[in-house]
Chain A
Amino acid sequence: MKKLLTFGLVTCCLIGVDARAQSGAPAADIAAGQQRAAACFACHNANGIAQIPGTPHLAGQERGYLEKALRAYRDGSTRQEPTMNAMAKPLSDQDIANIAAYFSSLPR
């Protein structure tokens, strides 16, 4: 039973990695994301657990969702929110991938 479980987990991980590799997204650099995100920590905190009411926790958040949200904030057409529109504006595609990777890597 234990072996089967391990096999299942490994398979899932491999498929997950494979799916990421095929999606064509830039390879993410968690350390670079952490450095670039320093100003984000003022609200979202370095551990991704926000302390300010109304500010979401980002620790362990779904990586694809974070990327999508940051792109939408940067474009400012579908997600209009003055705080996040301003924050996302200077970010490159690579920055977005890195920052999303950083926050999603944090334990919830």
Chain B
Amino acid sequence: MDLLGMYPTFYVPAIGTAWVMGIIGVIHVVASHTSVGASFLFALLETKAYRDGTPEIMGFIKKYGMFLLVFSYVIGSVTGPGIWYAITVASPRGVGGLIHNFVWVWAAEWVYFTVEVIGVYALVYLIGKVDAKTHLKLTWSFALASWATMLLIVGILSFMMWPGSENWYQTGSTNDAFYNLNFFAHLATRTGSMFVMAAVVGLMVASRVRDPVLRRSVVRFIAPIGLVGGLFAVMMFIYYLQTLPNNAVVMLNTYLLPVYARAMVAVFVVATAWLVFAWWQPQRVYTPLAVALFLFIAVAGVWPEERMRESMRKPYVAGQYIYGNQIIARNVPGKGIRSEMEQIAAAGLLQLHPFVPKPLRTVTADNRLATGRLLTQIACANCHALERGAPLRSLPDKLHGATDEDLIAAFLQGPLKHGTQPYMPRIDLPAPEIDAIAHFIAAVNRGEDVTAQPTPSTATAAASQPE
């Protein structure tokens, strides 16, 4: 029997693997943007100290650098591999697709990351131990290496949204994938935001500086950088919105902006007000206030932005050719990749997925609930929680609690099969599998226990068959 190259995936109730990845990712983005932004703040501050002959600023850089080392780099380094573990069980095939495109880009990113990590240690511990000009060069190298890690990962992240043209599908070239339509807008948005993050964290560190003159000069230096960065980020975000595919625009207008628009405006207003206030009253930048505002801007600013970007590329996980549920949705001649849609429509997922338990390979009257549950987990659970009222786009709720199996099946055979909703994948399955899914969803909506296993007789009979 022919099998497709699909992998087993984890199912996390209520929040899905998507939010597991999302929560780790948000912590990572806060840490990494702070580090990258701070590296440029250091470089600019040190340049100022070098030109003005004010070495006391180096004391602040040392303090901030130490803070970064302990918090940002440790948290960033733990959550970075954490993302790898999470996506491997959430979207193994999506990751596989990305690795086949970007293996050398990632290799390059890790080289720069190594430079960055060694750079931050060297920067902190060599203050006062090497001459000022050498140290300044070191700090600028550190800043450029930090930004290079972000530049490289942004090319990969923005390819996940879409390549933006037909070229990549035909050539399969890494350059066509990397320099995709929304790469520059995405990079510019993150570059602006990283200055905001760094300024907000910088104020937290500055609040611990006792010398009022030094505190004033540092705060007055970093607050305007944060303000300009924020303005630039907002402008580039508007540009970014113009580089999105249609499915993302529909998703954005229909579901995301109504939920997140207020939080985004609130973050912009609060961050602007805070930076202006800090510039105006450097002595009143108290630590608890600075920490509270950092937490607000980090959580309320980064979570909606990351969640939106992750949601908007649905139904695809990468390059508009592979769906979140691992199914290859179109041919990519440049990579020798073929669509699996027709094969799945003819033979069904239960026959083609390598990790289906033997008793569930065929839908029978006895195992309809169990096969329905497994099929729903395979086909839907990457994006949808399967419990009523669950936070991750609950599938029962998306069908408005429908309990009529025939109409749920009709929905699968009509809108879903024909791609009526631009943010949903086309899912074309044989009739028995559609009925099993409808049976399962209706049972969930009726509030029944859906964890029941197929009857023992079926299981034993199937298990006793020779392999």
Which residues of A does B touch, CB under 8 Å? 35-36, 38-43, 46, 51-55, 82-90
Contact = CB atoms under 8 A, between A and B. Distances in A.
Given A41-B400, A42-B400, A42-B415, A90 B407 contact: yes
Contacts of B400: 38-39, 41-42, 46
A86 B408 CA distance: 11
Contact of A39 (B254, B407, B420): B407
A59 to B, nearest CB: 15
B48 interface: no
9 contacts: A39-B399, A40-B407, A42-B411, A52-B250, A52-B421, A52-B422, A82-B418, A83-B415, A86-B417
A34 B212 CA distance: 68
Contacts of B310: none
B410 interface: yes
B401 interface: yes
Interface in B86-133: none
B308 interface: no
Interface in B378-428: 398-404, 406-411, 413-415, 417-418, 420-422
Chain B interface size band reads: 20 to 34
A43 B254 contact: no
Contacts of A52: 250, 254, 420-422
Given A52-B422, A53-B250, A87 B401 contact: no
A32 to B, nearest CB: 11
A35 B414 CA distance: 19
A39 B422 contact: no
Given A39-B399, A43-B421, A86-B417, 19 more contacts: A38-B401, A39-B402, A42-B398, A42-B400, A43-B415, A46-B400, A52-B254, A52-B420, A53-B250, A53-B422, A55-B420, A84-B414, A85-B414, A87-B407, A87-B414, A88-B410, A90-B406, A90-B407, A90-B409
Interface in B358-380: none
B410 A38 contact: no
A50 to B, nearest CB: 10
A41 B421 CA distance: 12
Nearest to A52: B421
B401 A83 contact: no
| B interface majority secondary structure | helix
B433 to A, nearest CB: 16
A86 to B, nearest CB: 3
B407 A36 contact: yes
Interface of B: 250, 254-255, 398-404, 406-411, 413-415, 417-418, 420-422
Given A38-B403, A42-B415, A89 B420 contact: no
Contacts of A87: 407, 410-411, 414-415
- Quick one: which of A43, A82, A83, A90 has the most chain B CB within 10 A? A83
Contacts of A40: 407
B399 A38 contact: yes
B399 A42 contact: yes
Nearest to B258: A51
A38 B420 contact: no
Nearest to A55: B420
Nearest to A89: B410
A28 to B, nearest CB: 18
A40 B421 CA distance: 13
A87 B402 CA distance: 13
Contacts of B407: 36, 38-40, 87, 90
A90 B409 CA distance: 9
Contacts of A35: 403-404
A36 B402 CA distance: 7
A40 to B, nearest CB: 8
A42 B414 CA distance: 12
Contacts of B413: 86
B311 to A, nearest CB: 15
B404 A83 contact: no
Nearest to B415: A83
A51 B399 CA distance: 15
- Quick one: which of B400, B401, B406, B413 has the most chain A CB within 10 A? B400
A38 B402 contact: yes
Given A52-B254, A52-B422, A39 B408 contact: yes
Contacts of A86: 410-411, 413-415, 417
A82 B410 CA distance: 11
Given A52-B254, A52-B422, A86-B410, A39 B404 contact: yes
Cβ-closest 6 pairs across A and B: A86-B414, A38-B402, A90-B406, A39-B407, A41-B400, A38-B400
Contacts of B410: 39, 86-90
Contacts of B399: 38-39, 41-42
A47 B408 CA distance: 19
A83 B420 contact: yes
Nearest to B408: A39
Nearest to B249: A53
B7 to A, nearest CB: 29
Contacts of B250: 52-53
A20 B149 CA distance: 70
A45 to B, nearest CB: 9
A87 B412 CA distance: 9
